[in-house]
A and B are shown apart, each in its own frame.
Chain A
Amino acid sequence: MSSEIFIWPFNLGLYFILIYSVVRSTIWFRSLSRADKLRLQRGFFGMPFMQSIREIFMESLLHRRIFKKNPVLGYMHMSLAFGWFLLIVFGTIEADFFGEKHLNPPSHAIFFRWFNPEHGASGLASVFTQWMDFLLAFILSGLLLAIIKRFIPGMMGMKKTTKHTWTDRIALTSLWLIFPSRLLAESFTCGVHGSGGFLTGNLGAALASFLPAADMAPWFWWLYSLSLGTFFFLLPVTRYFHIPVELLLIFMRNSGITTADRWSAYSEVQTHACSSCGICISVCQMSRAAGINDMQSAYFIKGLRNERDIAAITANCLMCGRCDEVCPVGIELGPLRLIERRQGERPATRLKFIDRYGLTRRREQIEREPTQSYSYLVPEEEQQADVLFFAGCMTHLTPSVIVAMKKIMDSAGVRYRFMDEQGGVCCGRPLMLAGRDREARELINHNSDIIWKSGAKTLVTSCPICYKVFRESYYLEAQVMHHSEFINLLIEEGSLRLGYLHRRVVYHDPCDLGRGSGIYDEPRAVISYVAELQPVPEERSMSLCCGGSLGNLTLSSEKRALIAADAAGTLTRSAPDELITACPLCKKTFAQATETRVSDIAELVAVALPKPVRRTRSRSLANTVKVVADGL
Chain B
Amino acid sequence: MSEQKANRFGFAINRSRAINYDTSDRKVREYVTLREPSFRLCFACGGCTAACTTGQHASFNLRRMNTYIRRGEIDNLREEVTRCMLCGKCLLVCPRGVNTRNVVAVTAEALRKLDRNEL
Contact = CB atoms under 8 A, between A and B. Distances in A.
A, B bound = yes
Interface string A55-67: 0000000000000
A588 interface: yes
Nearest to B56: A423
Interface stretch (B9-17, B19-27, B84-92): B84-92
Contacts of A378: 57
Nearest to A550: B88
Contact of B85 (A372, A548, A555, A556): A372
B105 interface: yes
A393 B38 contact: no
A548 B108 CA distance: 23
A356 interface: no
Given A345-B109, A426-B85, A426-B87, A558 B93 contact: no
Nearest to A393: B87
B83 A588 contact: no
Given A376-B83, A554-B99, A397 B51 contact: yes
A553 interface: yes
B53 A553 contact: no
B56 A372 contact: no
A352 B38 CA distance: 37
Nearest to A312: B35
B102 interface: yes
A575 B101 CA distance: 35
A431 B88 CA distance: 10
B109 to A, nearest CB: 7
A436 B87 CA distance: 12
Interface in B74-88: 81-88
A158 interface: no
Contacts of B109: 345, 371
Given A345-B109, A374-B83, A434-B105, A394 B88 contact: yes
Interface in A215-268: none
Given A369-B112, A371-B108, A425-B53, A553 B102 contact: yes
Contact of B89 (A372, A397, A558): A397
A167 interface: no
A373 interface: yes
A396 B89 contact: yes
B58 interface: yes
Given A397-B51, A553-B101, A425 B85 contact: yes
A165 interface: no
Contacts of B87: 393-394, 426, 430
Main secondary structure of the interface of A (DSSP, over half): loop
A50 to B, nearest CB: 46
B102 to A, nearest CB: 5
Nearest to A345: B109
A398 B53 CA distance: 14
B99 A556 contact: yes
Contacts of A553: 99, 101-102, 105
A371 B99 contact: no
Interface string B97-115: 1110110010011001000
Contacts of B53: 393, 423-426
A198 to B, nearest CB: 64
Contact of B92 (A372, A422, A434, A588): A588
B92 A556 contact: no
Interface in A390-423: 393-394, 396-397, 422-423
A622 interface: no
A1 interface: no
B86 A434 contact: yes
Contact of A430 (B38, B88, B97, B98): B88
Closest 7 pairs between A and B when the two form their complex, measured CB to CB: A557-B97, A426-B87, A376-B58, A423-B56, A426-B85, A371-B108, A393-B87
11 contacts: A369-B112, A396-B89, A423-B53, A423-B57, A425-B53, A426-B53, A443-B85, A550-B101, A553-B101, A557-B38, A558-B97
Interface of A: 345, 369, 371-374, 376-378, 393-394, 396-397, 422-426, 430-431, 434, 436, 443, 548, 550, 553-558, 585, 588
Given A345-B112, A426-B53, 14 more contacts: A371-B105, A372-B84, A376-B83, A393-B87, A393-B89, A423-B56, A425-B57, A426-B87, A548-B92, A553-B102, A554-B99, A556-B38, A557-B97, A585-B88
